[in-house]
Structure 1
Amino acid sequence: MSAVPPSNLTDLINRRTSVDKPELEALAAALWPKLERLAAHQLQGRSGLTLQASDLAQDAYIALMHEFPGRFNNREHFYALAARIVRNIVVDYLRRRSAEKRGGGLPFERLEKAENDVSASIDDSVDWIAVDAALSVLAQKHEAAAQVVELKFFAGLTNEQIAEAMDLSRATVIRHYRYARAWLIDHFGAEPAHDG
């Protein structure tokens, strides 16, 4: 099986429903490591989950290949959607687990801790179901700010990578993040940490 050149990856993703078997296998081989890293990032620091990165990556791959018939503008657009799908899978899993446990009440982690942390991950100190619901509300008010938070926390992207994925300047990404952070702090009634 031959590797897919990076320049052809977006085209191959967009033709995914009509490619032959060898091309589809090459596409899967090119995408799989990235999806598995994305999934592993989501599960980093989580204790007591039966969810495995390979299973999460497989579910995301199936959803991307079969449930989204539209075209992608570029690879970054594809991976932004992959981050959203992984977020939805993890949050759905946590909802089921929370329903089984009848509760949870995990505290909301202050976003200041993760502002410059490239390895921000989902962990048990965060009520990610509440964060997911809050991001849905934020997206109605400021979609770009919600997407920046999603790409930072659920895809593990740096500000530079988010800027590239969203076709924005790094400064705009930082402004959107600060807006989202302030909005989420206000939404959750948390006290912001003092700088210095």
Structure 2
Amino acid sequence: MDNADRGHPRLPPPGADTLLVRAGQGDRQALAAAWPLVYEELRSVAGRLMARERPGHTITPTALIHEAWLKLDSRPGAFGDRAHFFALASRVMRHLLVDHAHARQAAKRGDGDLPLTLSAAEFVGDGGRGDPAEVLAVHQALERLAAEDPRCAQVIELRGFGGLGLEEIAQVLGISLATVKREWVFGRAWMARALGQG
């Protein structure tokens, strides 16, 4: 006889938010249980990242999600809640694409440089389709910004690559919404200058 038969209502299964909090505390089973509940959102993150890639990319959004999931599964406790989880997932996916771009660029060009045509609109997710040199240039600019202003770089990464809303970023970073907005405006201008577009 289960709880429902004894007059106790059945509790609904835990939602993704609850499971991700438990996974953030190191519960691997909770992370596995969260997988089907967060898959579509991960597809959206992967889709935003892949929208900036060149047509015919050899990594599919599905492969990107699965590879990122393997990395996330090996790091239980690396995030605290849903917003932290998606921030980390977007960072992992971006780094996977950068690693792929490094390998592809090395195979394609040897020691020469490819022309850079990335615009500020492309790096913030307005649908640009960069080649490996462009992906690397954006990554390198973001790394330089991180050395100069780590919090601003985090805002750019979470918003521009992770697709998090400004309120979610404020929650993840533990700062005010007004501060996030200022960092976003400054960071976009900084990146545009660094990429020769401003």
- The alpha-carbon distance between structure 1 residues 122 and 149, as it changes in their structure 2 partners (threshold 3 A), is farther
Residue 36 (structure 2) aligned to one of 29, 39, 43: 29
Residue 172 (structure 1) aligned to one of 166, 172, 179: 179
Q: TM-score by structure 2 length?
A: 0.77
* Unaligned segments of structure 1, at least 5 residues: none
Correspondence for 2:72: 64
Instruction: Work out the percentage of aligned pairs sharing the same amino acid.
Output: 30
Correspondence for 2:97: 90
Deviation at 1:133, TM superposition (A): 1.2
Is residue 3–residue 30 contact of structure 1 (8 Å, CA) maintained in 2?
no
Deviations along 1:73-95, one digit per CA (max 9) or x if unpaired, are: 22211111111111100111111
Correspondence for 2:62: 54
Correspondence for 1:181: 188
Correspondence for 2:130: 124
Deviation at 1:150, TM superposition (A): 0.8
Residue 143 (structure 2) aligned to one of 136, 144, 168: 136
Is residue 64–residue 82 contact of structure 1 (8 Å, CA) maintained in 2?
yes
SS in 2 for 1:98: helix
- The alpha-carbon distance between structure 1 residues 158 and 181, as it changes in their structure 2 partners (threshold 3 A), is same
Q: In structure 2, give the amino acid aligned to 1:13.
A: A
Correspondence for 1:14: 24
Deviations along 1:156-178, one digit per CA (max 9) or x if unpaired, are: 23333333333333321121122
Give the superposed CA RMSD.
2.7
Deviations along 1:37-61, one digit per CA (max 9) or x if unpaired, are: 2111111253121210110000111
Correspondence for 2:4: none
Q: In structure 1, give the amino acid aligned to 2:19.
A: L
Deviation at 1:31, TM superposition (A): 2.6
Is residue 21–residue 82 contact of structure 2 (8 Å, CA) maintained in 1?
no
